[in-house]
Structure 1
Amino acid sequence: MTTHAWPQSARLDAPRVLDRIFDITGVRLVLEGPCPGGEIGAAYVSWPDGRRSVLTSARTQCGPLADRARQAGVPTARHELTARVDGVRVIVQQRLPGVPPVTLDTALVRQMLQVNDRLAGVLAGEPAPQPAPLHLTADGPGFCLHEPLRQYSDRSARLLERVRATGAASGSQMIGDDLVHMDFHAGNVLVDDGRLTGVVDWDGAVRGDRHLDLVTLRFYLGGMAPALTGPVDERLALIPARRRRAYWAHMSLRQVDWSIRHHDAATVEKWLTVAEEGMADR
């Protein structure tokens, strides 16, 4: 399954990390095996008392924002242990029930829309940081890179021109008081018997406009399950076209750049097609 992953330097080397956690904290965690899905790697581990958790890594101190989402009614995992291992932040977090969905359906999409609703205004009243950049006119920090699109093919170069033009015309920042997951797609939720039981991977979460998460979901569905896009399109039709264009341009740049650098040619072509169809509609 393709995911819109935020970049990491390498996949998690769970055995080495667990040894280092023991050296640092004196806590001996036992490796149970890899978690399904994802591109950076995560692993199931158990504590000496038998409690079961998940080991993963993060670029940011995302625990407080995941806590805010949980307070708003979104099922998220509590962070139980954090450590720096060879310059990388690693996290042992609560293991939520459920697994990533094997198939997608309208019921899951509607549950994800409900999650998005709960994140509206979650950060209102707090000191506002700088607006979150969309990287439409300049490279992002290790993702949303422009040069791969410029060099890959004439098709990707034309997409980049449209992305940059959208940034110049519609702006390249996101503002708002919502909590934005920033990687909101079916690969980052857990389900149990059809019920959404968890939203994971809050590493990129920021303050901004929750509708960007809906654009992320819509982009993903366009490539993986186009028959399910209707409910998301209905929501996105309610926001100004200028914002939709900017958010779609961001996702187009982000996913095509990532695919060029990490996936095969067929995957690149698939996401180019999704990107182009969306740019034409918006």
Structure 2
Amino acid sequence: MPDAPDTATPAPLPPVPRLDAPDLLEQLRAATGTELELLSPLPGGQVGAALVRWPDGHEGVLTHWGDATDAAWARIERTGELLDIARDAGIPAPRYELVTRLPDRIAVVQERLPGEPPSRVDLALIEHLVAIARRGAGLLRGRIDVPAAELHLLRSGPGFCLHETLAQYDDRTRRLLDLVRRIGAASPHRMAGDDLVHMDLHPGNVLVDRTGAVTGVVDWDGVARGDLRFALVTLRFDLAVPGVDGQDRSARSAAARWLDNRIDDLIDPATLRAYWAHMGLRQVDWAIRHHGPDDVDRWLTVAASRLAQEGPERHRRW
């Protein structure tokens, strides 16, 4: 039997607030005079986004950043620049059409890219996403002004990868946290490499056309300088979510087997343990705060699947 959540410790930290689109549009109208029509919330995503229409009739996507500090403003300006670099390299990333600093947050209206979320996840889609990740290779060489991705193995991240959540939940999550910290003590705290890395590349953050070709990659808030091989790990974690039917489960399993082989071939064991520990921490923390016990159980199992192994020493660079 799994351990029950620990009720003797303080309650876990609250979930990240979801987007209140009508309120944000009213704040934008008051601050800038911009008249945007709210069309609908967009499916998927953990914090929320909304489809809006500009006065000239074209559509955009409304999102927000949770604070309006100078650091947050500098980061969002840099993100807009990195999206330009991504597009120049053939990565289908959106443009920022409006960025406005409000008293308590930063509002962003970005380009509405064509396509829809994929209805099926299969090997062809995963191969396409891996190819897109490879386009980021070396794009940030010499750009020391762009921070390298932080893995958060020794301390909490800014709103995600929270150590406190795992410390408070139950004995299993505390054991995972202890392992994550031990891996962190033996690993660099930032990712090596000069690649442009999305940091959350998975099918939920892409759009496809009717043929299944990827037409857009969204949710670039975490974009950083680092190692493009990290995309293999984020994709593999996503494939741990079961399919909706037998055919979908079979397709996802085939894609997972292909990714497992790529991971073993391309990522050395020490680097893989650090990346896997980061993703285990990220997913378990998020499940505790936003989902429930079944999701916590799933991500604990996925985290253990690689952290308990050393793996073969047979890697090479893409």
- TM score, norm. by length of structure 1: 0.92
| Partner Cα separation in structure 2 for residue 36 and residue 140 of structure 1 | 25
Q: Is the 8 A contact 1:8 1:40 kept in 2?
A: no
Which of residues 108, 111, 114 is equivalent to 1:91? 108
Is 1:220 equivalent to 2:238 in the alignment?
Answer: yes
| Partner Cα separation in structure 1 for residue 94 and residue 156 of structure 2 | 31
**How far 1:101 moved relative to its partner?**
1.4
Structure 2, unmatched stretches of 5+, are: 1-13, 67-74, 243-251, 311-318
Q: Is the 8 A contact 1:167 1:246 kept in 2?
A: yes
Equivalences for 1:95-244 in 2 at 5 Å? Answer: 95-127=112-144, 129-193=146-210, 194-224=212-242, 225-237=252-264, 238-244=266-272
| Partner Cα separation in structure 2 for residue 138 and residue 56 of structure 1 | 27
Aligned length: 276
Name the aligned partner's letter for residue 202 of structure 1. Answer: W
Equivalences for 1:38-77 in 2 at 5 Å? Answer: 38-58=45-65, 60-61=75-76, 62-77=79-94
Q: Is the 8 A contact 1:223 1:271 kept in 2?
A: no
Name the aligned partner's letter for residue 263 of structure 2. Answer: L
Which of residues 247, 252, 262 is equivalent to 2:280? 252
Structure 1, unmatched stretches of 5+, are: 1-6
| Partner Cα separation in structure 2 for residue 52 and residue 162 of structure 1 | 46
Cα distance change, pair 28–8 in 1 and its aligned pair in 2 (3 A):
farther
Cα distance change, pair 94–235 in 1 and its aligned pair in 2 (3 A):
same
Same amino acid, percent of matched pairs: 52
Q: Is the 8 A contact 2:91 2:132 kept in 1?
A: yes
Name the aligned partner's letter for residue 163 of structure 1. Answer: V
Is 1:29 equivalent to 2:36 in the alignment?
Answer: yes
Cα distance change, pair 231–49 in 1 and its aligned pair in 2 (3 A):
same
Q: Which moved more, 1:108-117 or 1:53-62?
A: 53-62
**How far 1:118 moved relative to its partner?**
0.3
| Partner Cα separation in structure 1 for residue 15 and residue 170 of structure 2 | 25
Q: Is the 8 A contact 2:146 2:224 kept in 1?
A: no
Give the 3-state SS of the residue equivalent to 1:23 in structure 2. Answer: helix
- Please give the per-residue CA displacement for 1:43-67, whole angstroms capped at 9, x wherever unaligned: 1111111111111113641211111
**How far 1:169 moved relative to its partner?**
2.0
**How far 1:9 moved relative to its partner?**
4.4
Q: Which moved more, 1:104-113 or 1:63-72?
A: 63-72
Higher strand share: 1
Cα distance change, pair 276–198 in 1 and its aligned pair in 2 (3 A):
same
Q: Is the 8 A contact 2:95 2:110 kept in 1?
A: yes
Q: 2:20 aligns to what?
A: 13
Larger radius of gyration: 2
Give the 3-state SS of the residue equivalent to 1:31 in structure 2. Answer: strand
Give the 3-state SS of the residue equivalent to 1:173 in structure 2. Answer: coil
| Partner Cα separation in structure 1 for residue 147 and residue 40 of structure 2 | 40
**How far 1:129 moved relative to its partner?**
4.8
- Please give the per-residue CA displacement for 1:233-258, whole angstroms capped at 9, x wherever unaligned: 23322222111110000101111011
| Partner Cα separation in structure 2 for residue 25 and residue 141 of structure 1 | 28
**How far 1:230 moved relative to its partner?**
2.5
Name the aligned partner's letter for residue 293 of structure 2. Answer: A
Name the aligned partner's letter for residue 31 of structure 1. Answer: L
Q: 1:261 aligns to what?
A: 289
Equivalences for 1:265-276 in 2 at 5 Å? Answer: 265-276=293-304
**How far 1:151 moved relative to its partner?**
2.6
Q: Is the 8 A contact 1:223 1:274 kept in 2?
A: no
The two structures, once aligned, show a CA RMSD in angstroms of: 1.8
Name the aligned partner's letter for residue 77 of structure 1. Answer: P
Q: Which moved more, 1:129-138 or 1:177-186?
A: 129-138
Cα distance change, pair 156–226 in 1 and its aligned pair in 2 (3 A):
farther
Name the aligned partner's letter for residue 183 of structure 2. Answer: T
**How far 1:75 moved relative to its partner?**
0.4
| Partner Cα separation in structure 2 for residue 131 and residue 76 of structure 1 | 20
